[in-house]
Structure 1
Amino acid sequence: MATPKVKPKGNDRERVLTQSVLAAAEGLQLRDKDLAAVLGVSPSMVSNYRRHGAVLDEDKTPYHLGIAFIRVFRSLAGIVGTRPEHLRGWFHSDNRDLGGTPSVLVTKPEGLYLTLQYLDANRAVI
């Protein structure tokens, strides 16, 4: 897994997305090593995002995976509400429809997009 160079400054979109990804991971109690897997970066890079002002570069894949992760968080909040225990309960529990635990599934791109598709489909039910 390639570690992108630390980019101390970024444009507004990059800074906002990076902070949103970190906040969503915290809200879902996703460990840094698991967030690193979600984004396809090293755990040290996540540390750089948290502590050293590095940002997700919008021209790189981790930025786009971060967008998908934020969409998972927002879709889940739209279904179960914003109470942390409900968000975390769903995210860390086995899901028969998905064939696994969402917190584990999202650590691979195919699982991230499967979880996003599942949540979007369930959120749209009328």
Structure 2
Amino acid sequence: MATSAPALHDPDAPRVLSEAVGRIAAFWQLSNAQAGAIIGVSGPTMSRLRAGQYRLEPGSKPFELAQHLLRLFRSVDSWLGQDDGSARSWLATPNLDLGERPLDLIATVRGLLRTSDYVDALRARI
């Protein structure tokens, strides 16, 4: 996925980020409830977002969390060589370093940030 993180001042940011979140949810096969929990919206709101009937608003918590989700997606995508199956497997498998499944962790702000930092650290290894 070649979407760059949209800037707050970009008038297309709500559309771009909302579409990116919908694509991430599809690639990772997340339910509306799972994806909504990650970015802080309800399952029905996530359903509307995926259908293009709702857009994330710059400056809102869901917008910020969606930016972090996009960061995590891009890091995992880069780390695993754009293998969506491997990414889904990694998310669903208990991780000894993190102490639980990444999919369970990213449903909280702290877990999302911690998981992103973890993947970034893995990518930085030489």
The interval holding the TM-score normalised by the smaller chain is: 0.7 to 0.9
Deviations 1:52-89 (A, max 9, x none): 52110012010010010011111011111112211111
> Equivalents in 1 of 2:51, 2:57: separation in Å?
17
> Equivalents in 2 of 1:52, 1:87: separation in Å?
25
Secondary structure at the residue paired with 2:122?
helix
4+ runs of 1 displaced by more than 3 Å? none
User: One-letter code of the match for 1:26?
Assistant: A
- 1:118 aligned residue: 118
Is the Cα contact below 8 Å between 2:37 and 2:107 reproduced in 1?
yes
> Equivalents in 1 of 2:36, 2:109: separation in Å?
12
Structure 2 counterparts to residues 4-19 of structure 1, below 5 A? 11-19=11-19
1:60 paired to 2:60: yes
- 1:74 aligned residue: 74
- 2:44 aligned residue: 44
Q: Which runs of 5+ in 2 are unaligned?
A: 1-10
> Equivalents in 2 of 1:42, 1:48: separation in Å?
10
- 1:7 aligned residue: none
TM-score, scaled relative to structure 1: 0.87
Give the total of aligned pairs: 117
- 2:5 aligned residue: none
- 1:21 aligned residue: 21
Is the Cα contact below 8 Å between 1:30 and 1:103 reproduced in 2?
no
Is the Cα contact below 8 Å between 1:94 and 1:101 reproduced in 2?
yes
Shift in Å, 1:30: 1.3
More relative contact order, 1 or 2 (CA 8 Å, 6+ apart): 1
Q: Which runs of 5+ in 1 are unaligned?
A: 1-10
Secondary structure at the residue paired with 1:91?
helix
